[in-house]
Amino acid sequence: MRPSVAAVRILVVDDEEELAEAIATSLRREGYAVDVANDGHGALDRLMLNPYDLVTLDLTLPDLDGREVCRLIRTDARFDPATRVLMVTARDDIEERVAGLDDGADDYLVKPFALRELSARVRSLLRRETSGADSVIQVGDLTLDTARQIVEWARTPVDLTTKEFALLRYFMTHPGEVLSQERLLEHVWDEAMDPFTNTVRVTVGTLRRKLTDIADQQLIETVIGSGYRLIDPDVGAAPDSGD
């Protein structure tokens, strides 16, 4: 079962390649990890390989109809039924909207649309999963508000980039767990990221320095040979940790 709030990974499915990339670029600017598929089979392949929190799904695809993809997400045991589905389509008649919702879509957006509206719909759907007070995560004196995009240490604001925020959000939903670079790459970055890059190490390093500077103590430790861990104050640091 997925945690109530986690780093968010989104799959954009649309056969209009330019539109799909525009949507992906817009969502990445907000800190989401985003992958793209241009047909139904490609979407299903990615859904079997990666855990997605939300799918923006075009109704008209060159192979499988978007409604069929949605039905499979909801009924096929290979897919996570908790994945949010935002139908995106040029079909604007009420019968099509009702049919899409009956197939399991969580929301429906008609083309053409403004990217700002799509982003708002995405935020709304993700808030449904966390709802209310659960949008605030706390580990010791460290607090992260996913709705307001605010991080505080003992009520002192911490200034983070969007990717640092997403990374910390994932750490805070798994306090005390050792998270490998591969796991962080899978959940916080998208599939376009080179798995051999040092991006994870660099981003963890800058996040750790910012937290250490403001908290005057180390909050993220390196577990040699295994990965990184956000120190749970109820457990403390592990004896095999490093700098």
Sheet holding 136-139, edge to edge: 136-139, 142-145, 150-153, 156-157
User: CATH says 133-242 is which class?
Assistant: mainly alpha
Task: Tokens for 178, please give them.
Answer: 């050792």
The pLDDT assigned to 235 comes to 60
Long-range contacts of residues 123-130, Cβ cutoff 8 Å, at least 24 apart: 125/54, 125/84, 125/86, 126/8, 126/53, 126/54, 126/84, 128/84, 129/4, 129/5, 129/53, 129/82, 129/84, 130/4, 130/5
The pLDDT assigned to 132 comes to 41
The pLDDT assigned to 210 comes to 95
- Asked if 56 and 122 touch (Cβ cutoff 8 Å), the reply is yes
**For residue 73, what is the enclosing H or E element?**
helix 66-75
pLDDT digits (tens, 9 = 90+) for 157-200: 999 988 898 899 889 888 889 999 888 887 787 666 666 678 88
**Distance between first and last Cα of the chain:** 32
The pLDDT assigned to 183 comes to 84
The pLDDT assigned to 37 comes to 95
- Whether domain 9-130 has CATH 3.30.390.50: no
**Which part of the chain is CATH 1.10.10.10?**
133-242
* Mean pLDDT score of the chain: 84
pLDDT-flagged residues of the chain (< 50):
1-6, 130-133, 239-243
**Which part of the chain is CATH 3.40.50.2300?**
9-130
